[in-house]
Structure 1
């Protein structure tokens, strides 16, 4: 889920909750995309690591090139969430999101941020934010931005890969549970949650433009641009970076190294923000002395 994961703090929300990115159709001409992908291998194992976007314009064609080769060669697909966990995530969100006591948004946000929040809310119906934790409000704001940007979850990387692997009768697994992912937010300290929410609201008028630029960089495989976008947000909120990016990337790096002990070919598709930068999974693997090759 991250991202994540542009929408300033909402990059975290969009990355962490692919299930909440509603599908919206678009009639734009087909756009070719070649997202970044890496390979780590030993004598009998290959693991492709593909940077994913959880939702994309339906006009985006990203399944060609080396991705098609990796899909055909792989025996197994591993994502952040398995299909079963993704299906359960909405219920988990509903259980964790409510506050113990309501708190009006007017008491949480400064005037400028509150005005921007109200404008985003008015664009498609209320969020019910008074009754929700700060992180949950941010998630719903991210959903609204995705809708306004005409992103389509059914064309997202995980959804399309799931179809391909199911049709081929290949294994599909996940690295985390839906509760794991939501608890990364739920357990952030209140000050960090409020900072993320405030930043999200303050910049919400720029969010659609930001997410389109982020999607374009992903489609070009421009990892430097992706790293700049991610760092723009998370470097200002260290506690969020540690919980939502660095710690998870470390666990996933350990998973990759352990998976190399089993023969076979695996396609690992996780949010693109987890694969770029000095604390991205490829960089962590290289720091441990393993050879990682960019193949697209």
Structure 2
């Protein structure tokens, strides 16, 4: 049961922060990509990791060709919303009244939390909501694993499309994305925080499993690590994964009514499984095939 909880925490952190692979020698990554198409519309669906080490080589081959052919890039957040995310976090994260972290976590979780905190500066956790403390944990894990959003898939694609003078849009706002966590019920928030803290020392290894599956385009492994394990937290799954997948699939299906070629780049966990975006599009009658 403890192992399952650890995997759930890692998977949810990956959904929010898309933590990924460890520092290593340069390696080739071939993440999964799909194509939704009809007579005059082609929409590529690329599963991403938002933060990567600088030695990850994924921007080539079919992905590079899809980017070159696309008229527009669509991500979870537009560049403007990405810039607004930190300010929105500062606005939403504070608690109404401070609550000491040692009153929120059981002993094992508190020990894991303190060990991770000791790897850098102290967290201002007492003043923050449970979900916001979980974000800080995820950021510290990413830092300890030498991951950077500057090397993430979205950052690289944004630079490429900006240099080409092509538009870049977003499916959500920074506020709406963070409100997914802010509006989770207190019990769910506390359960997620406890799982993230209890084995924070193992979190890097857990997200490496996700990274490896992503780099190989192994959608079965991604589904197993993210979609199956997150079922242990149904409220979080509904808010963070399922509801968003349905909204994005509806947007893509509607966009299929207009001609053009788009590259839609979203977190890899949103594209796998029976309630992943490709499967939801197929259920709506859209022709979807995997192209990488």
Question: Normalising to structure 1: TM-score of the pair?
Answer: 0.93
Alignment of 1:222-241 (within 5 A): 222-241=218-237
Which residue number corresponds to residue 3 of structure 2? Answer: none
Unaligned runs of 5+ in 2: 1-5
Which residue number corresponds to residue 262 of structure 2? Answer: 266
Q: Distance in 1 between matches of 2:68 and 2:55?
A: 23
The structure-2 alpha-carbon separation of the partners of 1:121 and 1:8, relative to structure 1 and needing over 3 Å to count, comes to: farther
Which residue number corresponds to residue 290 of structure 2? Answer: 294
Show CA shifts across 1:63-115 (max 9, x none): 11210110110000000000000000000000000000011111111000000
Give the one of 106, 114, 118 matched to 2:114: 118
Matched, 1:188 2:184: yes
Q: Distance in 1 between matches of 2:281 and 2:270?
A: 12
Q: Distance in 2 between matches of 1:67 and 1:60?
A: 14
Which residue number corresponds to residue 242 of structure 1? Answer: 238
Matched, 1:199 2:195: yes
Which residue number corresponds to residue 12 of structure 1? Answer: 12
SS of 2:169's equivalent in the other structure is strand
SS of 2:232's equivalent in the other structure is coil
After TM superposition, give the deviation of residue 17 of structure 1 in Å: 4.6
Q: Distance in 1 between matches of 2:90 and 2:50?
A: 20
Q: Distance in 2 between matches of 1:55 and 1:95?
A: 24
SS of 1:235's equivalent in the other structure is helix
Mapped contact 2:46–2:268 kept (Cα < 8 A): yes
Which residue number corresponds to residue 3 of structure 1? Answer: none
Which residue number corresponds to residue 142 of structure 1? Answer: 138
Unaligned runs of 5+ in 1: 1-5
After TM superposition, give the deviation of residue 262 of structure 1 in Å: 1.2
Q: How many residues align?
A: 286
Mapped contact 1:35–1:62 kept (Cα < 8 A): yes
Q: Distance in 1 between matches of 2:256 and 2:178?
A: 28
After TM superposition, give the deviation of residue 232 of structure 1 in Å: 4.7
The structure-2 alpha-carbon separation of the partners of 1:150 and 1:97, relative to structure 1 and needing over 3 Å to count, comes to: same
